[in-house]
Structure 1
Amino acid sequence: MKKKSIAIDMDGVLADTEYQYLSYYEKETGKKLLKTVFHNVPELEVLPDGLVYKYLHTPGFFRDLPVMEGAVEAVKALQEQYEVYIVSAAMEFPLSLYEKKEWLAEHFPFIHWHNIIFCGDKSIIDTDFMIDDYCKNLDFCKGKPILFTAGHNASVTHHQRANNWKEVLQLLL
């Protein structure tokens, strides 16, 4: 029997971009901010003077992202029952392509390269489930969307939500 499929986003789902933005900001300005600054604020607007956008274009930003707690173990568990694809809209940030590939090789070496999809628009993805932190990707999901909690999506109510990887496993296993 064919396994059901899951598309899993990278940034904000497997990789902790919020932590990375705050870390870069503190190194640059000397000011420490808490993750609460992301609450209901569009990600690109969280830091002043377009710094989020600057960091997204900084070499090493994507390569050194911390892994979300529980992500590695959860993806391994999901692979036992599902065909798992890692899907990232990486085309907007050309530096990210190689860095994301290297990041996945380090942290998720058990994901075959055939199951890694770097694209510009996730509406082309046709899986049974999609886990993402952005509604712009989930609103067009052909399968069942699962919204992974992030500060910027705190007030979103029109998708089933998972606050962490433990909750993802409770929903899907």
Structure 2
Amino acid sequence: MKQRLLVDMDGVLADIYAQLIEFEYQELGIRQSYEKMNGTSEVDTFKNALEYIFSDGFFRNLPVMEGSIEVMRQLNEKYELFIVSAAMEFPKSLTDKFYWLEEHFPFLHWKQIVMCGSKTVIKGDIMIDDHFKNLDYFDGKTLLFSQPHNSSGNTKNHTRVDSWSDVAKILL
């Protein structure tokens, strides 16, 4: 029986920081640097982050994380793979996220997509996420995908990965 692998979307498959940087630059002419973001949340870093995140189409047009498509294709063959997103926090994102996955990860079946409110109800063997709040309760193996908001602090029992190449080295 294959192990169940759960993969987050925002900050893991989709580059939400790149999108926020671009939105803020287009609107305010401010170009944030990743170095200045370390240790701060998206809301603390970007003046209008919530406005951007709640806008129509924000999640539909997120850039894809480098290397994620090919590694996910391989992981899909080896694991019982599910995309798990706490999308209910941003209701406008539901359709956007579905069509984004369909466009960039067409090898995934719609039955492999879980949109939820809290990830505490999700069970599996391995979880890849960029938020401690989703990994800390998880009973299985956890991979913390590096993002500016999780750069400081103790990773606890989580294995930090900085790229999809790191994920491949561990899981393939």
* TM-score tier (shorter): over 0.9
Secondary structure of residue in 2 paired with 1:109:
coil
Q: Which residue of 2 aligns with 1:153?
A: 150
Letter in 1 for 2:166: E
Q: Which residue of 2 aligns with 1:170?
A: 169
CA RMSD of aligned residues (A): 0.9
CA contact 1:125–1:142 (8 Å) conserved in 2:
no
Between the two proteins, the alignment pairs up a number of residues equal to 170
Superposed counterparts of 1:10-25, under 5 Å:
10-25=9-24
Match for 2:108 among 105, 111, 130?
111
Shift of 1:21: 0.3
Secondary structure of residue in 1 paired with 2:160:
strand
Residue ranges of structure 1 left out of the alignment (5+ in a row): none
Q: Which residue of 1 aligns with 2:43?
A: 44
For normalisation by structure 2, the TM-score amounts to: 0.96
Q: Which residue of 2 aligns with 1:6?
A: 5
Superposed counterparts of 1:23-172, under 5 Å:
23-48=22-47, 51-156=48-153, 157-158=155-156, 159-172=158-171
Shift of 1:143: 1.1
Secondary structure of residue in 2 paired with 1:36:
helix
Shift of 1:36: 2.2
Residue ranges of structure 2 left out of the alignment (5+ in a row): none
Percent identity between the aligned chains?
46
Letter in 1 for 2:74: A
